[in-house]
Chains A and B, each alone.
Chain A
């Protein structure tokens, strides 16, 4: 499985692994969509606390309604990529958005490929 294309402008998000590494080295993200997903995940992590607290004020029956409306406006003012809803669990190797098994973070095709080559630990063809 080789990458579909190599994109060189990932200077912000370049992963440089140390050279003596016998394992598979992926030094670029597979495509731009994957890169955008990575950005969204990082931003969501940064703003997670704030969002939690503002939401605690919003989803409340004790505090006055004015406060909650103010909190609504505040949370809408946060950057759009900071919300976790925009994160898509893509396949880690092919960036496929659909058919991804969460446990392995792989799309069904990649999973099947590795499982048939006996490179997935504990995975066997089902037969009953």
Chain B
């Protein structure tokens, strides 16, 4: 049960504390193989590289578990907290006390050298705080740095065999630390799990690209108080366009030019280009309301009803045109009323 607890803790805290574990393992050169092997096994068992926030949440979740353990352990764990606080005050940047407690809990759960692991964890946490602050401020962008830190690994089962041999000499940048050949051998067993690894940390560490920041268009609009461009401006613009217009380099550019001129239609073909009929169908069909100016009986009414029937079936005229049609007839018949009454 203790080993399983250990493995779960280390899974949660694994990626961020990779370097710390490695650092601890480096300094424990005098130590036995077992902690190293444990660490390597844990790293090999790593299935998901979780983002930093999730890790924090998991740490907080584990903290509640660990507090129960701490109560059992008693004075040992409590001795570490003041150490952490002294280190904090030395650095000057306040860490989340919950994080500190979690770090101490994790360190206490590890079998060896709790003080060192604790300090390593805290150092790692501080580093992450610094990087997040840098991120918020937004440093200068260098694509080289970003690309060098990004690693996208995809593996097909066919390439696995080829990759395993090449793995040993690979230099993978994870927090700027190199992977040892031993590590790669442990990883090669679980290579299928590295299906699509983009190391999430390396995304946040480093300088920002500022590709997707919102362009601030509001001050530009505020500055635009110029009236609509004069004829001379338009003419000048036309001249400039005519002078700088290069002949099309290929068929695509030729087609683009033709589309702009109006020779070529825009694809996919819209049958209603130029037709902007905003009227609903009922305005086209039910035209009887326009017949109010006519007498309700007689041949004229009969005639007008036929006219309306024809108009309702006409898809080519707009509503405005149909109404004008009916109004023309109304005017005509009113002029001829004196004649009719003879």
Within A44-92, the residues touching B (CB, 8 Å) are 49, 53, 56-57, 60, 62-64, 66-67, 70
Known contacts: A20-B242, A53-B325, A53-B328. The answer to whether A62 contacts B340 by CB under 8 A is: no
Contact indicator per residue, chain B 285-319, by CB within 8 Å of chain A (1) or not (0): 00000000000000110110011000000000000
Is there a chain A Cβ closer than 8 Å to B265's Cβ?
Answer: no
Quick check: A63 and B339 within 8 Å, CB to CB?
no
> What's the Cα separation between A57 and B306 when bound, in Å?
12
Quick check: B340 and A67 within 8 Å, CB to CB?
yes
Q: Which secondary structure characterizes the binding site on chain A?
A: helix
Is there a chain A Cβ closer than 8 Å to B332's Cβ?
Answer: yes
Report the interface size for chain B: residues with CB under 8 A from the other chain: 15
Q: Which of A20, A53, A70 contacts B336 (CB 8 A)?
A: A70
Q: Which of A49, A53, A64 contacts B299 (CB 8 A)?
A: A64
Quick check: B306 and A53 within 8 Å, CB to CB?
no
> What's the Cα separation between A106 and B273 when bound, in Å?
29
Quick check: A53 and B339 within 8 Å, CB to CB?
no
Is there a chain A Cβ closer than 8 Å to B195's Cβ?
Answer: no
Quick check: A56 and B340 within 8 Å, CB to CB?
no
Q: What residues of chain B lie closer than 8 Å to A63, measured between beta carbons?
A: 299-300, 303
Quick check: A53 and B329 within 8 Å, CB to CB?
yes
- Interface size range on A against B: 10 to 19
> What's the Cα separation between A53 and B342 when bound, in Å?
23
Rounded to whole Å, the gap between the CB of B252 and the closest CB of chain A is 19
Q: What residues of chain B lie closer than 8 Å to A53, measured between beta carbons?
A: 325, 328-329, 332
Q: What residues of chain A lie closer than 8 Å to B303, measured between beta carbons?
A: 57, 60, 62-63
> What's the Cα separation between A57 and B339 when bound, in Å?
15
Q: What residues of chain B lie closer than 8 Å to A20, measured between beta carbons?
A: 242
Q: What residues of chain A lie closer than 8 Å to B302, measured between beta carbons?
A: 62
Contact indicator per residue, chain B 326-342, by CB within 8 Å of chain A (1) or not (0): 00110010001001101
Known contacts: A20-B242, A56-B307. The answer to whether A67 contacts B329 by CB under 8 A is: no
Known contacts: A53-B325, A53-B329. The answer to whether A64 contacts B340 by CB under 8 A is: yes
Q: What residues of chain B lie closer than 8 Å to A49, measured between beta carbons?
A: 325, 328
Quick check: A67 and B339 within 8 Å, CB to CB?
yes
Rounded to whole Å, the gap between the CB of B333 and the closest CB of chain A is 8
Rounded to whole Å, the gap between the CB of A48 and the closest CB of chain B is 12
Residue of B nearest to A22 (CB): B247
Known contacts: A20-B242, A53-B328. The answer to whether A66 contacts B339 by CB under 8 A is: yes
Rounded to whole Å, the gap between the CB of B298 and the closest CB of chain A is 10
Contact indicator per residue, chain A 18-61, by CB within 8 Å of chain B (1) or not (0): 00100000000000000000000000000001000100110010
> What's the Cα separation between A90 and B148 when bound, in Å?
73
Within B147-162, the residues touching A (CB, 8 Å) are none
Would you give 6 A-B contacts (Cβ < 8 Å), ordered by A?
A49-B328, A57-B332, A62-B299, A62-B306, A64-B340, A66-B339
Identify the 3 closest CB pairs spanning chains A and B, nearest first: A62-B299, A62-B303, A62-B302
Which residues does A use to contact B, with CB under 8 Å? 20, 49, 53, 56-57, 60, 62-64, 66-67, 70
With A49-B325, A53-B328, A66-B342 already in contact, 19 other A-B pairs whose C-beta atoms are closer than 8 Å: A20-B242, A53-B325, A53-B329, A57-B303, A57-B332, A60-B303, A62-B299, A62-B302, A63-B299, A63-B300, A63-B303, A64-B299, A64-B340, A66-B339, A66-B340, A67-B336, A67-B339, A67-B340, A70-B336
